[in-house]
A and B are shown apart, each in its own frame.
Chain A
Amino acid sequence: MRTPEQPSLMHRLRGLLGLHNLPFGIEIALALAAKLLILFWIWHAFFSAPQAKHMRVPADQVAQHLLAARPTSPAQPDSSINSPTPEISHDPHR
């Protein structure tokens, strides 16, 4: 149990990092910078190679997906994160 005199873990951590009494604007700027960095990392790690670039997929591929007599999702062994199927990476528009 923490006594009233003892600062909380978060309080001590902030003190250790020198984040106490930062001006409001600096706090917001730091949070925004961290957010932008994480957003960029998420985009780079998971979403930088979208299957539909500029909201378009080749019409033949869509027709194959919707109309093919075989199962709609062929197996695509894929080691990269959220990478497109090989068929799409040969799209000349990319």
Chain B
Amino acid sequence: MIPIDEVVTLSRLQFAATAMYHFLFVPLTLGLSWILVIMESAYVMTGSQVYKDMTRFWGKLFGINFAMGVATGITLEFQFGTNWAYYSHYVGDIFGTPLALEGIMAFFLESTFVGLFFFGWDRVSRVQHLGVTFLVALGSNLSALWILIANGWMNNPVGAEFNFETMRMELVSFEAVIFNPVAQVKFVHTVAAGYVTASMFVLGISSWYLLKARDTAFALRSFAVAAGFGLASTLSVIVLGDESGYTAGETNKVKLAAIEAEWETEPAPAGITVVGLPNDRTQHTDYAIRVPYVLGLIATRSVDTPVTGIKQLKAEHEVRIRNGMLAYAALTRLKSGDTSPAARAAFDLHKADLGFGLLLKKYTSNVVDATPEQIAQAVNDTVPKVWPIFWAFRFMVGLGLLFLFIFSSAFYFLVRKQLSPQRWLLRLAVCSIPLPWIAAELGWFIAEYGRQPWTISGILPTRLSASTLQPGNLYFSLAGFIGFYTFLLAIEMTLMIKYARRGPGSLHLGRYHGEDQSPAVQPSAV
């Protein structure tokens, strides 16, 4: 007998590890590309050489990240077919178009123009090169759009219907998939988080040059671009995060209730638990510090709409599981060959709850005769563990507020021309370079762990999505992935640190730190 739970856990671990490694590269590409557009626009508008040097130097670091990051996401697609066969079958009709469009964006738009960005400086005019840089940024951000449309559909599966003959979800409205509100909010929130990551990267490295008192004119201008772009991006992330919470309140009530450890449905407007110790066993938050009204206002944008608590959601899920048992019975009848109008009508009546019925497969192979105890177990599974999401969310928000403080301070002291004495701020910016990555990974953890027990929310349980594999195979491939990505990360870190330490002197222009101050030598092609 294959230990299903072990296979599912290992498959999840492998996908999570791969996705999280992949997302170490993505946010910097998303944000740094726009920072390059800003720097190069300044060069085109002013003709000032320092802006061209900035574009080329930060473009070099962008190139390292792009080269190490490109194609690291393809391993996720390997896993779809091999580790998640049933999930792949279920979503194949929906995912095909966004994934294909992502491929086109990534390989034809993004990669082509990245080549032109590096090798086109002496081959096209200034304005044309700026256009190339803009298309690099647009291509990388549009790639993210298609992936997030696919991911948004997993959280809010709109525009598709289950077909019992093909046993998969089939597209009925591409427009609904594209304009899925969850996907739209996810996209803007994710790319804005990427802009914050890149801004902190540029701000931190520029601060290091300023602390070392080297290349100060170059570093100050880079710092200014990062401070302005970072402040705008952080404010966007906060506003769009709020919008994301509102969307979750409408489309994914369980996730919202788990994030806020909202066990009971309170009279509107609900209060928010700022901190506390959520206890999944007792369904209570110990030592909670609460602020009245805030959650209701954020999550519902009204004063009279309640936020549904976990206990009430579980009661609703029990009804859906019982309906799911009827859907399961009707589907079994259809698959046994009885496709009469009565059998179809019985299935159509309850098919929206088929996924909830499938949750019982964990406890019984005979779903239609599940006992009340088995139903109660399945009901408990419909809510993910609360404390990991509760704390992940609070750490993420805390980091967001820290970024707001750093970028606001940077912007303020820059405008007041008082940056040099603020060595504490420069040191803080250097130390904060890795923090946006941590915040982004926490965000993904909240989004994906908060969707459990589903791969497709309300449709397909995670436990039934995985392939029938031997755990040993997964241990081997997991080890392979961890080794591969650690290798890539080590190369990325080595190259990044090497070229960041060299600074703009690595452009060999003869006017920066660590170079002979002789007339400019021929710069390398890249």
Q: Measuring CB to CB, which residues of chain A are less than 8 angstroms from any residue of chain B?
A: 10, 23-25, 27-28, 31-32, 34-36, 38-39, 42-43, 45-47, 49-57, 59, 62-63, 65-76, 78, 81-85, 88
Contacts and interface: CB of A to CB of B under 8 A. Distances in A.
B477 A24 contact: no
Contact of B468 (A27, A46, A49, A51): A51
B385 interface: no
Nearest to A28: B67
B484 A59 contact: no
B88 A52 contact: yes
A53 B75 contact: no
A78 B168 contact: no
Contacts of A10: 494
A66 B524 contact: no
A31 B68 contact: yes
Contact of A25 (B86, B491, B524): B524
Given A38-B487, A47-B79, A66-B361, A78 B67 contact: no
Interface in B86-103: 86, 88-92, 95-96
Given A56-B89, A68-B365, A76-B468, A46 B480 contact: yes
B67 A71 contact: no
Contacts of B470: 76, 78
Interface of B: 1-2, 4, 7, 60, 63-64, 67-68, 71, 74-75, 78-86, 88-92, 95-96, 165-168, 328, 331-332, 335, 358, 361, 365-366, 464, 467-470, 473-474, 476-477, 480-481, 484, 487-488, 491, 494-495, 499, 506, 524-526
B78 A43 contact: yes
Contacts of A39: 71, 74-75, 484
Given A73-B1, A73-B468, A50 B473 contact: no
B2 A73 contact: yes
Contacts of A68: 365
B67 A42 contact: no
A53 to B, nearest CB: 6
A62 B86 contact: yes
Contacts of A45: 476-477, 480
B89 A74 contact: no
A69 B166 CA distance: 20
Contacts of A73: 1-2, 4, 7, 468
9 contacts: A24-B524, A28-B67, A28-B495, A35-B488, A42-B484, A43-B78, A66-B86, A71-B4, A84-B85
Contacts of A69: 365-366
Given A39-B75, A72-B4, A25 B468 contact: no
Nearest to B331: A67
A67 B332 contact: yes
A37 to B, nearest CB: 11
Nearest to A81: B473
Contacts of A46: 78, 82, 473, 476-477, 480
A55 B75 CA distance: 15
B524 A50 contact: no
Contacts of A66: 86, 167, 358, 361, 464
Contacts of B474: 82
A55 B97 CA distance: 12
A84 B168 CA distance: 20
A66 to B, nearest CB: 6
B1 A57 contact: no
Contacts of B64: 28
Contacts of A84: 85, 467
A57 B82 CA distance: 11
Contact of A75 (B1, B328, B365, B464): B1
A31 B495 contact: yes
Contact of A47 (B78, B86, B88, B506): B78
Given A65-B468, A88-B85, 7 more contacts: A23-B524, A27-B495, A39-B75, A42-B484, A67-B332, A69-B366, A76-B2
Nearest to B166: A59
A44 B467 CA distance: 18
Contacts of B79: 47
A50 to B, nearest CB: 3
Q: Nearest 5 CB-CB pairs, A to B?
A: A50-B81, A55-B92, A51-B85, A52-B85, A47-B78
Given A51-B468, A72-B464, A81-B473, A42 B481 contact: yes
Contacts of B525: 25
A78 B84 CA distance: 17
Contacts of B524: 23-25
A75 B95 contact: no
Contacts of B63: 28
B223 to A, nearest CB: 24
A84 to B, nearest CB: 8
Contacts of B78: 42-43, 46-47, 50
Contacts of A83: 473
Contacts of A51: 81-82, 85, 467-469
A81 B476 contact: yes
A55 B328 contact: no
A62 to B, nearest CB: 4
A41 to B, nearest CB: 8
Contacts of A27: 495
